[in-house]
A and B are shown apart, each in its own frame.
Chain A
């Protein structure tokens, strides 16, 4: 099992106000906003930063090696800088890379940046360009699929499944309404569910416009530090990176619900469930729905958000639907999910998977303002999603982990 050389803390975070069109700034200027806010949040200066990790999905904006340009705004001038690009998981891989760099002892303070300016390119086209040119590109429609909905409907029935997905969506929007940085806030309420279920335009199958994630311009930045530097910086309570795991998959395995097996005869499962099994086992968490205080989940659609609750929390049967139906996932509920509003509200793709642990860190610090969950947050979970159905799962802690 991987062991860190030393514990790593998050000492500062910053994000832009996310929007459909940040036309007032170019890419370096957008990033600079988030970096400036993280620097101010930590109470440090650029001189305190030893290295920078930055990421986005370049195919969206169509500018290669964008770090060369963004150095005008990201603080990396004269410093070691790593560029990361792993599709939708980019922000989470940036998170993991920054954590690894500090844990290794190579650097003491690392600035991690995720950003995207979706409006400068074509989102669906950029995602479609990931498809294999020889056998998939003629079919790929960006990230749009109704198969997740089909599976939930087949398992739980047309009415109950659609109602639960819409309930999930409304709760996410109500959370976004409390987050001043969120991109989309529609003022949805539960009495609109019947109407939305019928009238929201279908995109693919039962995936409707209202279920689907946003396309946003925005950036996020997080500052990682060794325990020694964190103690010296200490403007806000440090948040500790307890663990993170990345699970990939070969893209056609288990895609369609037909059981497939790995080389050890173990039934293939979703990357969400496999990541949860690994992360919780190696951190001694037996009942995640009871031992985790808040979960910022990368939910590209309300259908995936609903479905993945079961996988991430290692639940069975219809427990996840029950959680949504009871309102457990609301900010004031038993197991709050996405108090920030999540990805259906805000999605600057290269930043999105970094905003999840960023928001989780705010929750641990008690700094999330109007969307703060009303409890002491000791353990926070955050996930990233992207590529061909990969998962990154991150565990943050209020208490410093044992080395």
Chain B
């Protein structure tokens, strides 16, 4: 008996990938994360040539490309330079869960930071119509005992009421 002809169907295979990751933070970023965890301080590093701050700190000045080894505290308050209000619930790549929308993210020029670099973090606000560039905002830290040496040791930024 001849075999039955194969159908025209196109077969698809599906797969969900998961893999563990473990990043070394190195001494520069590590110093920043330790300052968040142990001291609730936001540390920028400063270029010895042009004086720009970088926060989070990076090993080398992005403009001068020399080692930036000096650290200075910046913030915790700052000025909102740009922001996003996110309505689309894309999955959190770290947890795999969908974030609650709407939520806001902010680029904050922290007080004391020189050269215009901004710091990217979540902005906590329920009334999105309040948001405009130039608002004064401040970092809100996780409680003692809950900070782990991660960027999320800062829970979010919030608008400082009453400050122009």
Contacts and interface: CB of A to CB of B under 8 A. Distances in A.
Nearest to B26: A134
A258 B109 contact: yes
B60 to A, nearest CB: 9
A159 interface: no
Contacts of B140: none
Nearest to B12: A23
A253 B62 contact: yes
Given A135-B151, A142-B90, A260-B115, A204 B133 contact: no
A309 B138 CA distance: 36
Q: Is the interface of A mostly helix, strand, loop or mixed?
A: loop
A142 B93 CA distance: 10
Contact of B152 (A138, A250, A260): A138
A254 B117 CA distance: 7
A263 B64 CA distance: 6
Interface string A253-270: 111111111110000000
A137 B151 CA distance: 10
B84 A145 contact: yes
Contacts of A180: none
Contacts of A151: 82
A253 B63 contact: yes
Interface residues of A, number: 43
B115 to A, nearest CB: 6
A144 interface: yes
B23 A133 contact: yes
Contacts, number: 111
26 contacts: A62-B17, A131-B93, A133-B23, A134-B33, A134-B150, A135-B29, A135-B120, A136-B120, A137-B94, A139-B121, A144-B86, A144-B90, A145-B84, A150-B82, A150-B133, A201-B87, A204-B86, A250-B63, A252-B54, A254-B116, A255-B82, A256-B109, A258-B109, A258-B116, A260-B63, A263-B50
A203 B81 contact: no
Contact of A258 (B10, B81, B85): B81
Contacts of B83: 147, 150
B23 A154 contact: no
B10 A135 contact: no
A141 interface: yes
Nearest to A133: B23
B105 interface: yes
B118 A146 contact: no
Contacts of B87: 201-204
A255 B107 contact: yes
Contacts of A203: 86-88
Contacts of A125: 91, 93
Interface in B80-122: 81-88, 90-94, 105, 107, 109, 115-118, 120-122
A24 B92 CA distance: 31
